[in-house]
Copies of this chain bind each other. A is one copy, B any other.
Amino acid sequence: MKVQSSEDVARLPVEMEGAVGCSVRWLVSREDGAPNFAMRQFEIEPGGYTPHHHHPYEHEVYVLEGAGEVLDGETPRPISAGDVILVQPDDVHQFRNTGDKPMKFLCLIPNSADNRPGVAGPECSAVESRQ
Binding site for B on A (CB under 8 A): 1-7, 9, 27-28, 32-37, 39, 57-58, 60, 62, 64, 70, 72, 77, 79, 82-89, 91, 93, 106, 108, 110
Contacts and interface: CB of A to CB of B under 8 A. Distances in A.
Contact of A85 (B2, B7, B36): B2
A27 B62 contact: yes
A89 B33 CA distance: 10
Nearest to A80: B5
A37 B108 contact: yes
Contacts of A57: 35
A112 to B, nearest CB: 9
Given A37-B36, A82-B6, A84-B39, A60 B108 contact: yes
